[in-house]
Amino acid sequence: MGSLRYAGLFATLVERDNNQTDNNDNNNNSSPGSQSVTALLGAVLGIALLLAVYFNRRSRKDTEDPGGKSSLERLKRLEAVSPTRTLGEWWPTVKESLGLSQSVDSHFVCVICFDQVELSHGIHELKCMHVFHKQCLEKWYLRSHYTCPMCHQQFFHERSRPAHDYIWMV
């Protein structure tokens, strides 16, 4: 008699569980209209995000003007702060001012491009006494970097802030 009671209780629990599963399946199946609205909303938000990124990058390129008149003006200001000369002209005067012996090697590496700086190469020396290829530091500076690539000491103070003073985290 006890086993029949447990069998009946078990059958009741299984039946109740099946009914709940059927109800959950009916609740999870949303109408096709709501699924298409969700898909459309996702597509619209995705397109809006892509357009925002596109226009932000496009406007940033317009303000950079890598080869234009404003770049030449900016390079003149860099030249005033850090005149161009060759490593061969710069190194003997620095070596003497630092009290280094004549046997000290003049092996320099530009940390922007990681190439060796030869005595005949044009260089820019910053206030912090770090030396870089002329072209490397000019590219660095034209991309609105005003600090030394090695020690991050500021070498130039830009008068006006860039037109887009915000950063997109994408």
DSSP string, 143-157: TT--B-TTT--B---
Give the residue extent of every domain in the chain.
1-28, 31-64, 66-142
Helix axis angle for 69-81 and 134-142, nearest 10°, is 120
- Asked whether the beta carbons of 127 and 153 are under 8 A apart, the reply is yes
Q: What is the C-alpha end-to-end distance of the chain, expressed in Å?
A: 70
* DSSP alpha helix (H) spans, 82-167: 87-97, 134-142
Q: Which CA distances in Å does 27 have to 22, 24, 36?
A: 9, 5, 17
Residue 8 one-letter amino acid: G
Q: Which residue has the higher pLDDT, 162 or 10?
A: 10
Give me the residue label for tokens 């290829």: 133
Q: Using CA atoms, how far apart are residues 155 and 79, in angstroms rounded to an integer?
A: 12
pLDDT, tens only, 95-114: 888 777 776 777 888 989 99
29: left (phi over 0), alpha (psi -120 to 50) or beta: beta
CATH number of 66-142: 3.30.40
Q: Using CA atoms, how far apart are residues 127 and 132, in angstroms rounded to an integer?
A: 12
pLDDT, tens only, 108-150: 889 899 999 898 999 998 888 889 999 999 999 888 888 899 9
pTM over 0.85: no
